[in-house]
Structure 1
Amino acid sequence: MNKRIYNALLLCVLVFSQVNVAANDDKNAIKTLLSTTTPHVQLANVYDANNDIAVSRYLVSEKFDGVRAIWTGNQFVTRNGNTINAPHWFVDVLPNVWLDGELWTKHQDFASLSGIVRTIKPNDDDWRKVSYRVFDMPDKVNPFNVRYQNYQRLVSNINQPHIVAVKQHQFTSNETLTAYFERTVQQGAEGVMLHLASAKHRDGRSSSLLKLKPYFDNEAMVIAHLPGKGKYQGMLGALRVKNSDGLEFTIGTGFSDAQRRIPPALGVTITYRYHGFTKHGLPRFASFLRVRTPE
């Protein structure tokens, strides 16, 4: 199919899907059209209070520490296009439209959730703990405040407890935003997301979508295991890692005893959290968060 024709057809499907789901005879064709090996997702920049943005122009929601899942119209995929094998009962209620959201269980439960989502043959009992938190219904036409109304309406019509519309809030000042942020983090959230209400969906990283977290995080490759001392004798003391900027440093906190006994393997990528940088440009107070899950 000519690429220009394909793109035109895709745009038509996404626009009209908000008004009317296609007739049954056309469902298979639409599912094929919406499916993609590499979904076009929007990625967030980091919120910087020094930039003095107009907070009232943004819609703000909780940032869930889940597994990003794009509903293509017929299946869940990760942002890198890998299939997520959810049970039929979980996905059969979802229509032939493009949705973006997080698969989530509860706060501070990412390791358990990751195991559930990565299973090739889904376990019904495990998946009954999971909800799909919809935070966007992307198209190339409507601004985010309209897309928010659209996904709210869609989820309400689905009327299933495991499909949840992420609530958006609006604030008039940095003080009210900060109060919401602190309250949400205290309840166990990873942070908050700020969507520019007037912005249309854009592929890739965008300043129209900002993340505000109580700490920064980044990824690094494990290059060495350093032995433990004292109560960690015979176990892992720290990881020596190298991040994407080529900086090498040591991470010695954040590990459970089980992870110290069987540490992340050499060559794997881990996610670490930190609080700014030292005068030498190294992450300050870096601590282990988790092994990165392949997407």
Structure 2
Amino acid sequence: MSRLALWLPLVLLSSAGHAEGIAPPPVQLAADYQQQDASLYRVSEKLDGVRAYWNGRELLSRNGHRYSAPEWFVANFPDTPLDGELWLGRGRFSELSAAVRRYQANEAEWRQIRFMVFDLPASELPFEARLTQLKRLFSRHDSAYLELIEQRLLSDNAALAAYLDEVESLGGEGVMLRRRDSLYSPARNPDLLKLKRFQDAEARVLAHLPGQGKYQNMLGALLVETEDGRRFRLGTGFSDQQRLQPPSVGTTVTYRYRGETAQGLPRFASFMRVRNDMPQQP
């Protein structure tokens, strides 16, 4: 992002004004961390950004659509492929998403964006050697819009847990682990791992919102309100039976989520259960 529920199909225009589609770039995808030995990996923050692939000429989305980045943004990029994410900063995913989806670039918005690079796809070397190549490459290409993500060496899994705590305390969403001896593989790679924690919280049901399509005549989403007055729709995590018999208005439900938006609303909120152990408000 990565970037799930709010990601809509991206169709960008060429300078001639026509929709332009390109074959999806050969990016590798992450598996979930399962208590592997952290000392065998390089570890970086999992950025709250939008995946991007520089093919040496233009920036592409994971699905092969061209981002309408201004020419000055990519002017000093190298002519070799780079894998990374477009990023505005922690907690600014919504702003970033809006900026990079525009048919015509808003230059003021793009001046705040950085292309954060984490790999060198065309190299056939192991990741540790690719990282050395990247550092040399970056020393020759001076761009205010191109940055190399910090890749840490950690001594053990306790150090990994401490680093995850550090990232989350700063508003980050998790960490990525890249096995130091792994090759770049344009598929789901078991040597590339993601680690993040779900958060959970409670909210009171205010209303049932009707479903559409396959959920017609069923629950589409719950309108809920947190204890501090924030309201949002909770539309995923329900079984079909729960959509037919949703939690009653006034019920307190537990949901899980991954961080918050710039507006303070939970990101990727998903229903977990009814809190039967808490008093319900009318």
SS in 2 for 1:83: coil
Q: Report deviation, 1:99.
A: 0.5
Residue of structure 1 aligned with 2:53, choices 70, 76, 83? 70
Q: Is 2:24 aligned against 1:38?
A: yes
Unpaired runs of 5+ residues, structure 2, are 1-20, 201-210, 247-252, 275-282
Counterpart in the other structure of 2:67: 84
What count of residue pairs does the alignment treat as equivalent? 226
Residue of structure 2 aligned with 1:203, choices 171, 186, 193? 186
Q: Report deviation, 1:163.
A: 0.7
8 Å contact from structure 2 (residues 30, 189) kept in 1? yes
Q: Report deviation, 1:229.
A: 8.4
Q: 2:268 is matched by which residue type in structure 1?
A: Y
Higher helix share: 1
Counterpart in the other structure of 2:268: 272
Distance 1:230 1:191 in 2: 24
Residue of structure 1 aligned with 2:109, choices 102, 126, 150? 126
TM-score by length of 2: 0.69
8 Å contact from structure 1 (residues 70, 99) kept in 2? yes
Unpaired runs of 5+ residues, structure 1, are 1-34, 261-270, 275-281, 286-295
Listed one character per residue, the Cα deviations across residues 141-172 of structure 1 (whole Å, up to 9, x for unaligned) are 11111111111221222122221001111112
State, as a whole percentage, how many aligned pairs show the same letter: 33
1:225/1:152 Cα in 2 relative to 1: closer, same or farther (>3 Å)?
Answer: same
Listed one character per residue, the Cα deviations across residues 261-283 of structure 1 (whole Å, up to 9, x for unaligned) are xxxxxxxxxx7256xxxxxxx84
Counterpart in the other structure of 2:33: 47
1:75/1:230 Cα in 2 relative to 1: closer, same or farther (>3 Å)?
Answer: closer
Q: Report deviation, 1:126.
A: 0.8
Q: Report deviation, 1:240.
A: 3.9
Distance 1:227 1:121 in 2: 35
Q: 1:41 is matched by which residue type in structure 2?
A: V
Residue of structure 1 aligned with 2:134, choices 146, 151, 169? 151
Counterpart in the other structure of 2:18: none
8 Å contact from structure 1 (residues 56, 171) kept in 2? yes
1:214/1:92 Cα in 2 relative to 1: closer, same or farther (>3 Å)?
Answer: same
8 Å contact from structure 2 (residues 236, 269) kept in 1? no
1:229/1:195 Cα in 2 relative to 1: closer, same or farther (>3 Å)?
Answer: closer
Q: Report deviation, 1:238.
A: 4.3
Q: Is 2:88 aligned against 1:105?
A: yes
Across the aligned residues of Structure 1 and Structure 2, the Cα RMSD in angstroms comes to: 3.7
1:206/1:228 Cα in 2 relative to 1: closer, same or farther (>3 Å)?
Answer: closer
Distance 2:191 2:241 in 1: 30
Listed one character per residue, the Cα deviations across residues 106-162 of structure 1 (whole Å, up to 9, x for unaligned) are 110000011111111111111111011000011251111111111122122212222
SS in 2 for 1:176: helix
Residue of structure 1 aligned with 2:155, choices 164, 167, 172? 172
8 Å contact from structure 2 (residues 28, 187) kept in 1? yes
Q: 1:137 is matched by which residue type in structure 2?
A: L
Distance 1:181 1:228 in 2: 30
8 Å contact from structure 2 (residues 254, 272) kept in 1? no
1:213/1:94 Cα in 2 relative to 1: closer, same or farther (>3 Å)?
Answer: same
Q: Report deviation, 1:225.
A: 3.7
8 Å contact from structure 2 (residues 48, 173) kept in 1? yes
Q: 1:84 is matched by which residue type in structure 2?
A: Y
8 Å contact from structure 1 (residues 237, 252) kept in 2? no
